[in-house]
Amino acid sequence: MVAGIMMALALTVPAQARELPKLGQAPLQQVVAALTLEEKISLVTGQGMSFPGLPDDMQAPVVGAIEDHVPGAAGATVAVPRLGIPSLVLADGPAGVRIEPTRKNAPGKTFHATAFPIGSALASSWDTALVREVGSAIADEAAAYDVDVMLTPALNIHRFPLGGRNFEYYSEDPLVAGETAAALVLGLQDRGVGASVKHFAVNNHEWNRNTINARVDERALREIYLKGFEIAMRKGQPWTVMSSYNKLNGTYTSESTWLLTDVLRKQWGYQGLVMTDWFGGKDAVAQMEAGNELLMPGTGNQRKLLRAAVADGKLDERVLDRNVTRVLELVLRSRAFKQAPHSDAPDLRGNAIISRHAASQGMVLLKNDGATLPLAAASRLAVLGDGSYEVITGGTGSGDVNKAYAIPLAQGLQNAGFSNAAGLGERYASYIAEQTPKRPTTAWYLPKARVPERAVDVAELAQLAQQQDMAVVTISRGSGEFVDRKPENDFQLSDVERALLVATSKAFHAQGKKLVVVLNIGGVMEMASWRDLADAILLAWQPGQEAGNAIADVLSGAVNPSGKLADTFAIQLADYPANDGFPGKVLLGPDPNDKSIFGQIARAAEVEYRDSIWVGYRHFDTRKVDVAYPFGFGLSYTDFGYSDLKVEGGEQGPVRASVKVTNTGKVAGREVAQVYVSAPSSLLPKPAQELRAFAKTTLLQPGQSQVLQFQIEGKDLASFNPELGRWVADKGRYSLRVGASSRDIRAQQSFDKAEASNYTP
């Protein structure tokens, strides 16, 4: 009745006098109804982007939000001011806010952001509270620079060490990857900045990433490649998801209704928005229909296609309305909509402290013979290796950060009170300065070539070994978007690096002195052939801008290392099942007439994931393959004892377990306890064990204990049976194994399931 009167009144008011429905004031439906078709299309396609080499139909002027307001941000959505819809700014990325550090409209002023440790380093901390804190620090910088959505976390599985973007991904294991990603999402969103969980899904390598078709069986998808995303969705509730570039089983992920609607929304209950990766996919109409609501960065061609598709009935306008609604739901949550103020002055000092702390927590001590580390105070060191003087703080491409500074190891050691051999730093500095201009040039979007390692000078090393107490050699590796790593001179040492380690080891051992190797790397490398040369090895990762200080914190013992490997370090590349068929095969070569950057990649390529679920330790532990360092491994300057394992439940529903961890050594430290479960064999082949839970102690003083609690849901004991289309936890005897690594099980107990349990996907 009342509604009827209102309607009658509305009809009598002239259109121009009626108030336009404003976002946030009027119901969403009314706002959507008030949009013109052109406005709707502009809301589902971003503001555009322009750079050299982009095909003409993809070039779009970068306007307003990015160019004038946040230069260097990755993209922006379109505003419709008449309905109160602001534009949102989206920026990379996983190691911190990636924007231009200077602006034409603010001469003399800088806009730096903190470079945090890379994803692999964060994951190696196994400390989700710490990752959440890093997420909040990144969000605070994003908010200071008026960014609404951060294009992170990135959590594709480390399927094979040569994956060019492994550095910004987390782990070979979906539980570690998913929990780390969820923590980062929560940290960002705690501070009102949206996250974008990327790249959904199966973007595990860079080779032909825009056209490759990854063929993966459904069990591997569910258990390995989608599982981490599922955890991140359920626990983190990200505002956005970014679909990936590749095809999955024949369909672009951004055009896959199965992936984006059936799995993501219907099965996992996801409520947020899906955007494409930049210029990802081909068919804008299929993307709209599949549930990829926002096309980024947005091109004129996409708008043209969508216009035509609505006009000739190929795209139902109701699909567009649904997608626009989801874009507006995102806008409603944003800082831009709330008109949150920004300072352009983030707390770079405070966040540098967080970055340094996070970096030290993710470092993994791989070897420490004869208590080589921590270094004795004021040790006189011979600091060797180019990487000791020119640190790699993170990867390149969208995972890079324009930071104010980077502390190399030589500097960090000096800050911590250690001395370097006189003149050695100057010799490295002049070598690097002389070589830098001689590097081969690479395309602007590719990682820059590195200066080759300074050649070995045996006489110099002999003298250093006499004068100094110990040698520290840094081995560095960079990688980034667009290219995968190589076996030679990357996964393996270069000849000069090997010669440097051999000669340094020989010279210092001849004097009864030791060699410490620091690995400043973004992903797994070959170690078995050279690790015997070193007395201690610290995996420092690419630790962000405070690198040198953070590494010195661990080398000096100011921080007791507590990171553990979230990846297996195999003996050789051929030991990874994914080596077979990597990176894939070309089905149709590059188009010789395409002069754009896309003209360099194959028009069609394919990779078959023959390794199925046998990724990482699931393969190495089940098939008993020797490894250099197992999954979950990491030493400490103290020791830990495990006792009082208690396991209850599991017959149906969750299993609860607790274990007491005691610091049995002489210095304070933290321990990561890992819970693996071996399931009874069934119709499906089962891994020998799978990580089902983990926890990290607080800093335990010598003699101090902590009881760690774990809960494993019934579904997390199950394997996905593709024929039945559901998860099945078989009946039979399960073994719960608590370990300090996947190959160092300290306590175990079994429990029985009398009946199998089934779970829908």
CB atoms within 10 A of CB 189: 20
Residue choice 32, 123, 139, 151 for contact with ligand BGC (CB under 6 A): 151
Q: Is 277 in the site for ligand BGC (CB under 6 A)?
A: yes
Residue choice 32, 48, 79, 92 for contact with ligand BGC (CB under 6 A): 92
Considering the complex, state which of residue 255 and residue 730 has its C-beta at the smaller distance from ligand BGC: 255
- Shortest Cβ 91–ligand BGC spacing (Å): 8
- Shortest Cβ 598–ligand BGC spacing (Å): 13
Q: Is 292 in the site for ligand BGC (CB under 6 A)?
A: no
State the residue for tokens 């490759």. Answer: 212
Angstrom distances, CA of residue 709 to CA of 524, 647, 670, 737: 31, 10, 16, 14
φ/ψ of residue 230, rounded to 5: -60, -45
Q: Is 198 in the site for ligand BGC (CB under 6 A)?
A: yes
Characterize the bridge pairing of strands 364-368 and 273-275. Answer: unpaired
φ/ψ of residue 43, rounded to 5: -75, -25
CB atoms within 10 A of CB 747: 18
Given 92, 277, 490, 535, which residue is catalytic? 277
Considering the complex, state which of residue 398 and residue 562 has its C-beta at the smaller distance from ligand BGC: 398
Considering the complex, state which of residue 174 and residue 399 has its C-beta at the smaller distance from ligand BGC: 399
Q: Is 424 in the site for ligand BGC (CB under 6 A)?
A: no
Which residues lie closer than 8 Å to 471 by C-beta, 6 or more apart? 381, 382, 384, 464, 465, 504, 507, 508, 513, 514, 515, 516
Q: Is 526 in the site for ligand BGC (CB under 6 A)?
A: no
- Shortest Cβ 218–ligand BGC spacing (Å): 25
Considering the complex, state which of residue 49 and residue 226 has its C-beta at the smaller distance from ligand BGC: 49
- For residues 433 and 455, give the distance between their C-alpha atoms in angstroms, rounded to a whole number: 15
Considering the complex, state which of residue 127 and residue 481 has its C-beta at the smaller distance from ligand BGC: 481
- What's the per-residue H, E or C state across 441-508? CCCCCCCCCCCCCCCCCHHHHHHHHHHCCEEEEEEECCCECCCCCCHHHHHCCCHHHHHHHHHHHHHH
Q: SS3 for 360?
A: helix
- For residues 195 and 503, give the distance between their C-alpha atoms in angstroms, rounded to a whole number: 48
- Shortest Cβ 269–ligand BGC spacing (Å): 25
**Contacts of ligand BGC in 233-262 (CB under 6 A):** none
Considering the complex, state which of residue 98 and residue 357 has its C-beta at the smaller distance from ligand BGC: 98
- For residues 742 and 735, give the distance between their C-alpha atoms in angstroms, rounded to a whole number: 14
Q: Is 484 in the site for ligand BGC (CB under 6 A)?
A: no
Residue choice 74, 336, 381, 518 for contact with ligand BGC (CB under 6 A): 74
Considering the complex, state which of residue 398 and residue 556 has its C-beta at the smaller distance from ligand BGC: 398
Query: Is 312 known to be catalytic?
Result: no
Residue choice 128, 396, 398, 678 for contact with ligand BGC (CB under 6 A): 398
- For residues 142 and 359, give the distance between their C-alpha atoms in angstroms, rounded to a whole number: 20
φ/ψ of residue 546, rounded to 5: -90, 20
- Shortest Cβ 597–ligand BGC spacing (Å): 11
- For residues 616 and 361, give the distance between their C-alpha atoms in angstroms, rounded to a whole number: 23
Size of the site for ligand BGC (CB under 6 A): 9
- Shortest Cβ 395–ligand BGC spacing (Å): 11
The CA-based diameter of the chain, rounded to the nearest angstrom, is: 99
- For residues 61 and 550, give the distance between their C-alpha atoms in angstroms, rounded to a whole number: 42
For residue 506, count CB atoms less than 10 angstroms from its CB and return exposed for 0-12, middle for 13-18, buried for 19 or more. middle
- Shortest Cβ 451–ligand BGC spacing (Å): 26
The DSSP letter of residue 255 is G
User: Across-strand partners of 736?
Assistant: 677, 749
For residue 695, count CB atoms less than 10 angstroms from its CB and return exposed for 0-12, middle for 13-18, buried for 19 or more. buried
Q: Closest Cα partner for 176 from 356, 357, 362, 360?
A: 362
- For residues 553 and 559, give the distance between their C-alpha atoms in angstroms, rounded to a whole number: 5
Considering the complex, state which of residue 151 and residue 700 has its C-beta at the smaller distance from ligand BGC: 151
- Shortest Cβ 274–ligand BGC spacing (Å): 14
Task: Let me know: does 484 contact 205? Beta carbons within 8 Å.
Answer: yes
Considering the complex, state which of residue 121 and residue 151 has its C-beta at the smaller distance from ligand BGC: 151
- Shortest Cβ 267–ligand BGC spacing (Å): 25
Q: Is 479 in the site for ligand BGC (CB under 6 A)?
A: no
- Shortest Cβ 481–ligand BGC spacing (Å): 6
Considering the complex, state which of residue 275 and residue 647 has its C-beta at the smaller distance from ligand BGC: 275
State the residue for tokens 């321990």. Answer: 671
> Hey, which residues are catalytic here?
277
Residues that bind ligand BGC (CB under 6 A): 74, 92-93, 151, 198, 277-278, 398, 481
